[in-house]
Amino acid sequence: HSVCPYNHLFACTGVGMVLACLSIVCAAVVEIYRKRELASSGGIPQNVAGTVYNASTLSVMWQVPQFTLNGAGEVFASVSGKC
């Protein structure tokens, strides 16, 4: 037995924080790639309320890993019971 009975909760919270940090890194990499792709291709023109914006051709599926890591981080970081 450990000295503190709540060590596993701290470990779970730590894992959650690491996963949240990895999510941010993943989001940054996707954003860098999206901006480079938009600069090279020019994007897809979209008309929104009379203003034309250039949208990236990058698939929204590139965001799945960051949201998965974020969700897993939330599960671990917000432990209310056992891990």
Q: What is the pLDDT of residues 26-80, one digit of tens each?
A: 999 999 999 999 999 888 999 999 999 989 999 999 999 999 999 999 988 886 5
- If you average pLDDT over residues 16-22, what whole number do you get? 93
- pTM metric for this prediction: 0.77
- Please check the confidence at residue 15 and state whether its pLDDT lies above 60: yes
pLDDT at 14: 86
pLDDT confidence tier of residue 8, bands split at 50, 70 and 90:
confident
Q: What is the DSSP string of 13-69?
A: HHHHHHHHHHHHHHHHHHHHHHHHHHHHH--EEEEETTEEEEE--S-GGGGHHHHHH
